[in-house]
Amino acid sequence: MKVSLFSSLVSVFGLLFLTAQDGRINLQSQPNIIVILADDLGYADVGFNGCRDIPTPNIDKIASQGVKFTEAYVSYPVCGPSRAGLITGRYQDRFGFGRNPLFAPNDVEMGLPLSEETLADALKKSDYKTIALGKWHLGAHESLRPNNRGFDEFFGFLSGGHSYFPEEWTLSNEYEVKAQFDPYRTKLLRNNERIEEHDYLTDALSREAVAYIDQYRSEPFFIYLAYNAPHTPLQATQQYLDRFNHIEDTKRKTYAAMVSAMDDGIGLVLDQLEKLGLKENTIIYFLSDNGGPEYHNASDNGILRGGKSDLFEGGIRVPFAMMWPKKIKPNSVYDNPIIALDIFATSIAQSKQPIKTLNTIDGVNLIPYLNGDIKTAPHNYFFWRKFDHNQFAVRHTDGYKLINAKSNQKLFNLSTNISEDNTSAEVNTQLQKELLKHYNNWNNELMNPTFLGLGSDDEYNALNPNRFIKPNED
């Protein structure tokens, strides 16, 4: 009998090992983590936020099989600083990333400082495989690139944007670049090697994500899937354009096609997780890096005022959904405000061992709030600063928001005035003073920007005449 029982146990454990190796069952105690970041997506351009003319069934599946956040923010209203905040879990002004970086492959200062730890750096302490796909925009200098910032694998581009059609990728490397927006035409990178690619950019990124899930299915992985879509240039293949003949506006039609291509790719990612038995223990976050620039790409921020680059809600409040079937109930809705900085804290809190971070982070672990263990709101205050424009905003979790734009301070109660209509602005001197006090306390902890940004291209060129010249390697 003992022999029989022993044999049975050996058979069971052998089967579990084989199926784990085959990828059909995930024995990892640590969840896989996938951050899916859209670029310049409008708040009202996903189904779970009420979009009617662009179907997003796969993005919506993340919300329906997990949680939709109704008041989710990013830490800055344009992409570079917003991404720096997300990837470090820290307000980016703490380390001088207060501007959108220029493309400067010779400048070690133009990007995410080496003093900062990325989410990939942190997760590697707990044996994660780490992959970055798509847009980087955190520095083009060799020392600032993904493979030197905690990522085992990289497939994508370094600049703040990129053309979508491979026939336009005519520049062989960063030193064929002659001006700020030339990198849109560079060949893609696989790790540190320029490659030939033949697929539409969004499709290529989705393909790579699916392949990496298969490659690392037997160990915990972190995939940072940073789509370029629907950032300009507005470019889509006929396959996707044909889906939107009902949209008469040409710009909106192309935008819709680009969002649809991204949604298809997210569907492939979800299908791969399901196929390999990884879905139950994989955390997926979906969000945009900032609000939609409605005029430029025909995005729609709905009832929110403003858009990309604004400190009004349209610039900083974004569509945000998260799923983790193992821990989050489907069709959940979370109404307390959160911020993209929470992704870092939430992710490292699920590791098999405590991860000691290099720097103090500003985000919090959302899981106890989502499962009801903690009833209070995750944050009391949120802050934003646009250093060069002397603009700032601060909001309390109760909905009151003070915004200073061009030395004109306005107080809004977002609970009753989500559109930040000036005619419904609040008058409460004492509350304004209180919010301003908290902002000033936060502001005193910050650094001035450490590099020139997009608005200073000519000034930077004058100071750095060898900006695009390859350094002598002798």
Rounded to 5 degrees, φ, ψ at 254 are -70, -40
Helix, strand, or coil (residue 261): helix
The single residue of 137, 162, 231, 379 carrying the catalytic annotation is 137
Three-state DSSP class for 394? strand
CA dist 466 → 165, 455, 459, 460 (Å): 29, 19, 13, 11
- DSSP label at residue 426: B
> Strands across the sheet with 381-386, in order?
381-386, 391-396, 400-405, 408-413
Residue at token pair 């820290």 = 90
Query: 35-63: buried (b, 16+ CB within 10 Å) or exposed (e) per residue?
Result: bbbbbbbbbbbbbbbebeebbbebbbbbb
Residue (of 214, 202, 268, 191) closest to 32 by Cα position: 214
Cβ distance 415 to 399 under 8 Å?
yes
Question: Does the N-terminal peptide bond of residue 105 adopt cis geometry, omega within 30 degrees of 0?
Answer: no
DSSP annotation string for 21-69: HHTSS---SSPEEEEEEESS--TTSSGGGT-SSS--HHHHHHHHTSEEE
Q: Helices marked H in 89-188 — which ranges?
A: 119-124
Region label for 306, one of left (φ > 0), alpha (ψ between -120 and 50) or beta (otherwise): left
Distance CA 307, CA 78 (A): 10
Tell me the three state secondary structure of residue 102: coil
DSSP 169-226: --B-SGGG--STTGGGGBPPEETTEE----S-HHHHHHHHHHHHHHHTTTS-EEEEEE
Active-site residue, from 79, 141, 162, 231: 79
Catalytic residue check, 51:
no
State the Cα–Cα distance between residues 43 and 40, nearest whole angstrom: 9
Catalytic residues, by residue number, are: 79, 137
